[in-house]
Amino acid sequence: MNNCIFCKIVKGEAPSWKVWENETVYAFLDINPVSPYHTLVIPKKHFVNIFDISDFELREVISGVREVVKMYEEKLGIKNLQIVNSNGHAGQQDVFHIHFHIVPREEGDGQNIRWKTFPEWRSEFDEMILKLKGQ
Ligand code: 5GP
Ligand code: ZN
């Protein structure tokens, strides 16, 4: 993809701080870190998001995520982190080349991911399951 910033990073046409790579996957520090070692893990090939990536490439990327996590655990002692992947505009995806965030966390780091919950929607669960069965 010509205009994709992450494709440019993979090709070395844009700068990045690489932490790990293999034949299919590239991992680098996020330019706007929310914590130390905030990392993005991407396939070297361009896929928009979870809806168009192949099973093979997705497995490669998630294995790459774990390689980086293991490295951070072994070399930095990191034991707390979040893995985040967003898909689609309303799904809060901003860069349309699939990526997984690795966000190391520490007690009292000032970060907080909290979704608003709607327990009252439990009453709709039966109907929701029926919809999946096409009834
Ligand atoms: P999203 O919101 O799509 O899940 O995350 C996109 C991420 O890409 C953001 O955290 C943003 O900081 C990061 N990002 C955008 N452009 C660049 C860039 O040129 N270099 C790096 N290293 N990260 C980028
Ligand atoms: Zn791309």
The set of residues, in sequence order, having a beta carbon less than 8 Å from that of 71 and lying 6+ positions away, is 19, 20
Per-residue pLDDT of the chain (135 residues; tens, 9 = 90+): 779 999 999 999 999 999 999 999 999 999 999 999 999 999 999 999 999 999 999 999 999 999 999 999 999 999 999 999 999 999 999 999 999 999 999 999 999 999 999 999 999 999 999 999 985
pTM: 0.97
CB 26 within 8 A of CB 9: yes
| Distance from the alpha carbon of residue 8 to the mean position of ligand 2, in angstroms | 7
Closest-CA residue, ligand 1 atom 4, reads: 93
The residues annotated with a catalytic role in the active site are 99
What integer pLDDT is reported at residue 2 of this predicted model?
Answer: 78
Tokens of 24: 């299919």
What is the dotted CATH code of the domain comprising 5-132?
A: 3.30.428.10
What integer pLDDT is reported at residue 38 of this predicted model?
Answer: 98
| Distance from the alpha carbon of residue 20 to the mean position of ligand 1, in angstroms | 17
Tokens of 5: 């910033």
